[in-house]
């Protein structure tokens, strides 16, 4: 007797639950037909993650690279969006449990909850060295960066001297490299003119990598070119330097100490802890090792895709956690569900290399698509075209292409807003004499 769970009674429509509104989940939802889809995400929007580092460095605003999920699926009445946290997946009863809503039953499940960065057993470092994975992360980092400039400016205006303004980025993968380049550019070109007291030679960006080269997923020649480009821009790159300690005022790299109150973590990978509730094998990063058809062992209608899945590619190594992979996987599983293909009818998932891109500043990038390599402005132009193309929907593409061109030209100052901190009520002391006042500021006193 065939004990594999069947899809539901043919009279009622099948229901597919998708966990996660990122590239994988969103693409699957767009491709599913003739089923009821419930898409659960803890935020109400889809983030274009490749550009998240630009929100973190105040080059773009959140609304430029994120779209409400409800609006994206407005024209697909079979897709319902639920904004909530998934607490656990119950395979036996075929139910996902949510934090605030009632549990949701499913016929098929697509788990695409993504991943975060990892602190290699030192989760306490997160308080001093936040990461960059969600929009909330990006907004937090942006605020830290803007306040750091304000404090340095004030310090210099008051004392004439200034501590070196140092930013440390841990992790030489694409996120770290792109953050480093963008931070340096925004710091010097967009903000420099706004801070006349800051000596921007005192702005220091340090990129720290534990391995022997940055961008290890790329060809070594391209890694070397990227390294040269970063150093020409003025970023200090430290290779073969794993972080051994993180404190509120700096990081330790073995016996080297870097003083900084602006540390950003862009290293390591840890898949969503939600996957632990599936009860299947996971790799050290927490990713689920999936079958050739992207299912979990023993259940042909529970799929794991995107950064949360460990899927072995043609060359025997796991596929990278990048958007094109997640999108292809989403399309694949949607097809299996649409066609109601039984396990023995399914062709294994195969990913045709669509290449990788990483930017280094406003007009530089490296690109690698199969044997094709490019670097410099050509690669950057390619990066721009590809990213816009990947965007969902023609209407969005046209709009965003126009907006980004405009923002590129104007350095989009509206992205650099800081709101006030809680106000202290003033005291009424118009009759009292000043105390402990800096003598320099009294030169106008009567």
Catalytic residue numbers?
178
List the alpha helices (DSSP H) in 339-376.
Answer: none
Is the CB of 207 or the CB of 275 nearer to its own copies? 275
Nearest to 175 by CA among 205, 125, 133: 133
Q: How far is the CB of 203 from its own copies (least distance, A)?
A: 16
Strand 108-111 to strand 15-19: parallel, antiparallel, or no bridges (unpaired)? parallel
Is the CB of 315 or the CB of 438 nearer to its own copies? 438
Q: How far is the CB of 289 from its own copies (least distance, A)?
A: 17
* Pairwise CA distance, residues 365 & 375, whole Å: 6
Nearest to 19 by CA among 114, 103, 94, 100: 114
Q: How far is the CB of 197 from its own copies (least distance, A)?
A: 8
List the structure tokens of 121.
Answer: 């057993």
Nearest to 277 by CA among 305, 294, 307, 302: 302
Is the CB of 279 or the CB of 348 nearer to its own copies? 279
Sign of the torsion angle spanned by Cα atoms 134, 137, 138, 139:
positive
Strand 262-265 to strand 165-170: parallel, antiparallel, or no bridges (unpaired)? parallel
* Pairwise CA distance, residues 239 & 221, whole Å: 16
Is the CB of 147 or the CB of 232 nearer to its own copies? 147
Q: How far is the CB of 314 from its own copies (least distance, A)?
A: 32
Element (DSSP H or E) covering residue 67:
strand 66-68
Is the CB of 276 or the CB of 289 nearer to its own copies? 276
Is the CB of 58 or the CB of 323 nearer to its own copies? 58
Is residue 267 a contact partner of residue 177, using CB atoms and an 8 Å limit?
A: no
Q: How far is the CB of 206 from its own copies (least distance, A)?
A: 25
Element (DSSP H or E) covering residue 356:
strand 356-359
List the structure tokens of 32.
Answer: 């599913």
Is residue 23 a contact partner of residue 65, using CB atoms and an 8 Å limit?
A: no
Residue 424 neighbours by CB distance under 10 Å: 6
Nearest to 173 by CA among 49, 266, 53: 266
Q: How far is the CB of 30 from its own copies (least distance, A)?
A: 16
Is the CB of 70 or the CB of 373 nearer to its own copies? 70
Nearest to 304 by CA among 339, 275, 335: 275
CA quadruple 283, 286, 289, 294: dihedral, nearest 10: -160
Q: How far is the CB of 375 from its own copies (least distance, A)?
A: 32
> If you ran DSSP here, which 8-state letter would residue 190 be given?
I
């Amino acid at each position: 007797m065939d004990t594999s769970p069947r899809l539901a009674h043919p009279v009622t429509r099948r229901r597919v639950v998708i966990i996660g509104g990122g590239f994988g989940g969103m693409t699957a939802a767009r491709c599913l037909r003739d089923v009821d889809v419930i898409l659960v995400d803890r935020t109400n929007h889809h983030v274009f993650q490749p550009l998240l580092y630009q929100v973190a460095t105040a080059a773009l605003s959140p609304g430029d690279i994120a779209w409400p999920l409800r609006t994206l699926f407005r024209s697909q009445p079979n897709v319902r969006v639920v904004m909530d946290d998934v607490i656990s997946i119950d395979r036996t009863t075929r139910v996902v449990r949510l934090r605030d809503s009632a549990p949701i039953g499913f016929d098929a499940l697509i788990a695409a909850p993504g991943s975060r960065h990892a602190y290699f057993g030192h989760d306490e470092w997160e308080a001093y060295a936040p990461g960059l994975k969600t929009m909330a992360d990006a907004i937090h980092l942006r605020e830290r960066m803007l306040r750091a400039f304000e404090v340095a400016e004030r310090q210099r205006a008051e004392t004439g001297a200034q501590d070196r303004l140092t930013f440390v980025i841990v992790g030489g993968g694409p996120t770290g490299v792109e953050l480093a380049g963008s931070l340096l550019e925004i710091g010097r070109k967009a903000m420099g003119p706004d801070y006349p007291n800051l000596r921007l030679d005192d702005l220091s960006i340090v990129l720290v990598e534990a391995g022997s080269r940055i961008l290890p997923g790329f060809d070594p020649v391209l890694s070397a070119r990227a390294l040269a480009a970063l150093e020409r821009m003025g970023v200090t790159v430290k290779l073969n330097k794993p972080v051994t300690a993180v404190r509120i005022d700096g990081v330790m790299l073995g016996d080297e100490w870097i003083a900084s109150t602006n540390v950003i973590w862009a290293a390591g990978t840890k898949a969503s802890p939600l996957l632990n509730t599936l009860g299947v094998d996971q790799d050290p990063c927490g990713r689920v090792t999936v079958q050739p058809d992207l299912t979990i062992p023993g259940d042909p209608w529970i799929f794991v895709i995107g950064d949360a899945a460990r899927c072995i590619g043609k060359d025997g190594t796991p596929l990278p956690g990048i958007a094109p992979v997640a999108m292809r996987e989403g399309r694949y599983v949607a097809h299996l569900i649409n066609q109601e293909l039984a396990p023995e009818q399914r062709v294994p998932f195969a990913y045709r290399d669509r290449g990788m891109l990483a930017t280094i500043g406003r007009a530089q990038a490296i690109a690698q698509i199969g044997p094709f390599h490019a670097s410099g402005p050509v690669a950057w132009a390619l990066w721009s075209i590809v990213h816009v193309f990947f965007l969902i929907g023609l209407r969005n593409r046209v709009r965003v292409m126009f907006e980004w061109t405009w923002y590129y030209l104007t350095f989009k100052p509206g992205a650099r807003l800081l709101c006030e901190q809680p106000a202290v009520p003033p005291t009424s002391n118009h009759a009292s004499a000043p105390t402990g006042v800096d003598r320099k500021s009294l030169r106008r006193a009567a």
